[in-house]
Amino acid sequence: MPHLPSVDLEARPGMAIALRVRLANRMMAAALVRPAVDDWVASDGEILPSAARIEPAYVYLLQGAEVRQTIALRVPLHMKAGTRLTTALRFPGIGEESVPIALTVLEGDDATPQAALERELAVSLPLGDDAPRAGRDEFGAAAEASYSLVAGLAGLDMLPARWLVAELLTAVCQAGEAQAETEAGRALLGRLGRTRFFKNGVVAFASAQAPRWILSGLSATSGLHAAMGGQLGQGQLLHIWERWLLGLADADIEQGGAAPEVRLPDAHLQAFASTLGTQADRWFANLLLGLAVLSPRVGSVLAQIAARAPEAASVPEEGAPPAGADDVLGEDGSLGR
């Protein structure tokens, strides 16, 4: 039988319990971990709610990484001394095994304030000995990649979509900013900036406060970044998927052996987003150029819209900002012209 961690406690009725859990990921892939605690089961068969509070509620745990969570419990009131309560700490989606928690109720003392009982608990996931082994032969590399993909897709089912959407929008805008540095990008943005389409888009972005929504969504990345020890870029979900994709090149099943690891420079999405701030015109302009680069279908439509733009009143001097970068919201007159 594999050795499983367990918790054995003694506490008085009404007493608070804090389990300081140190989670370690010894699986072959990153995993979204969302622990759950069962109800208390008394020795006489009575079922009592555990009312467990877990902070943070879930964590994205990279392969080989560690993170801490706190599980707060409270001993049910009016329990007789000597009563034995049991529950279990589970990790849904990761395995069937659980960490048993047992509590012996002590004699109550209403006259003395009860300090919280704290207990450290180290847990390595997955529990038991069913952790996939990372073989380095040609079949082991393929199995590891498949397992990582399955685990990553399962994690996305539980993640708030806002985190990922904010990162994707910022990544597209970052590509658009790079395109704006090219002659073709400046020309396209210059013509789009003179269209009603562009003006309406900026107004929509500003009215919906889309830049603030994106910046707020990226703040979740800061929390993940801190939870993972401040390692550069590792709070980003896109970074995790980039690591999986590039990890396919580590072992070549045709040549055998390990190939040099392929790396990309860190994508500083938050730093880039802070340069745009809440300027709706810059966000919308970069989004258009980014979509034009990444999607030929959208690029074709944007080219058709740009072709219908009225000619500029005067040719801007070299080095002047393109028309699309003007303060659209500060213009006089109707935006529908």
pLDDT, tens digit, 9 for 90 and up, residues 156-192:
666 667 778 888 999 999 999 999 999 999 999 999 9
Which pTM does this prediction carry?
A: 0.56
C-alpha–C-alpha distance, residues 30 and 84, integer Å: 37
pLDDT in tens, 318-335: 555 454 444 555 554 434
| Cα–Cα nearest to 237, from 294, 153, 145 | 153
Q: Mean pLDDT over residues 315-320, rounded?
A: 52
> Are residue 278 and residue 167 in the same domain, yes or no?
yes
Residues 6+ apart with CB under 8 A from 51: 73, 74
Angle between the N-to-C axes of helices 269-276 and 280-294, in degrees from 0 to 180, rounded to the nearest 10 = 130
> Are residue 220 and residue 279 in the same domain, yes or no?
yes
Residue 181 has a pLDDT of 94
Q: Establish if 131 belongs to a structural domain.
A: no
Domain end (from 82, 105, 125)? 125
C-alpha–C-alpha distance, residues 90 and 138, integer Å: 34
Please name the residue that has the structure tokens 């099943």.
253
Residue 334 has a pLDDT of 38
Number of Cβ within 10 Å of residue 3's Cβ equals 8
- pLDDT value at 112 more than 80: no
Give the CATH number for residue 98: 2.60.40.2310
Number of domains in the chain: 2
Characterise 51 by phi-psi region: left (phi > 0), alpha (psi -120 to 50), beta (else).
left
C-alpha–C-alpha distance, residues 151 and 35, integer Å: 16
Average pLDDT, the chain: 78
Q: Establish if 186 belongs to a structural domain.
A: yes
Please name the residue that has the structure tokens 């007159």.
333
* Structural domain of 57: 7-125
Between 132 and 263, name the one with better pLDDT: 263
Please name the residue that has the structure tokens 């690029």.
299
Contact (Cβ atoms closer than 8 angstroms) between residue 82 and residue 105: yes
Torsion of CA 175, 178, 184, 190, to 10 degrees: 90
Contact (Cβ atoms closer than 8 angstroms) between residue 195 and residue 302: no
* Assigned token pair, 24: 């370690």
Characterise 14 by phi-psi region: left (phi > 0), alpha (psi -120 to 50), beta (else).
left
C-alpha–C-alpha distance, residues 84 and 100, integer Å: 13
> Are residue 186 and residue 54 in the same domain, yes or no?
no
Q: Mean pLDDT over residues 55-60, rounded?
A: 82
Backbone angles phi, psi at 67, to 5 degrees: -150, 160
Which range, 105-109, 137-141, 201-205, has the best average confidence (pLDDT)? 201-205
C-alpha–C-alpha distance, residues 188 and 303, integer Å: 7
**What is the 8-class DSSP label of residue 182?**
S
Residue 233 has a pLDDT of 47
Q: Establish if 210 belongs to a structural domain.
A: yes
Between 86 and 136, name the one with better pLDDT: 86
Q: Establish if 149 belongs to a structural domain.
A: no
- pLDDT value at 198 more than 90: yes
Between 65 and 312, name the one with better pLDDT: 65
Q: Mean pLDDT over residues 190-212, rounded?
A: 93
Residue 42 has a pLDDT of 92
* Assigned token pair, 284: 């919308």
| Concatenated DSSP letters of 113-147 | PPPPEEEEEEEEESSTT-PPP---SHHHHHHHHHH
Between 153 and 294, name the one with better pLDDT: 294
Residue 202 has a pLDDT of 94
> Are residue 193 and residue 53 in the same domain, yes or no?
no
Contact (Cβ atoms closer than 8 angstroms) between residue 20 and residue 118: yes
- Report residue 56's pLDDT band, with 50, 70 and 90 as the boundaries: confident
Q: Which long-range contacts (CB under 8 A, 24 or more apart) does 267-270 make?
A: 267/171, 267/174, 267/233, 267/236, 267/238, 267/239, 267/242, 268/233, 269/167, 269/170, 269/171, 269/174, 269/218, 269/221, 269/236, 269/238, 270/218, 270/221, 270/222
Domain end (from 104, 125, 146)? 125
- Report residue 64's pLDDT band, with 50, 70 and 90 as the boundaries: confident
Residue 177 has a pLDDT of 94
Q: Mean pLDDT over residues 61-79, rounded?
A: 87
pLDDT in tens, 75-104: 998 888 999 999 999 988 787 889 999 999
Backbone angles phi, psi at 85, to 5 degrees: -115, 140
Residue 210 has a pLDDT of 92
Residue 157 has a pLDDT of 66
Residue 162 has a pLDDT of 78
> Are residue 315 and residue 260 in the same domain, yes or no?
yes
- Report residue 142's pLDDT band, with 50, 70 and 90 as the boundaries: low
**What is the 8-class DSSP label of residue 52?**
-
Domain end (from 71, 100, 125)? 125
pLDDT in tens, 209-247: 999 999 888 876 555 555 444 444 445 677 777 777 776
The one-letter code for the residue type at 221 is T
- Report residue 266's pLDDT band, with 50, 70 and 90 as the boundaries: low
- pLDDT value at 57 more than 90: no
Contact (Cβ atoms closer than 8 angstroms) between residue 71 and residue 89: yes
C-alpha–C-alpha distance, residues 60 and 45, integer Å: 36
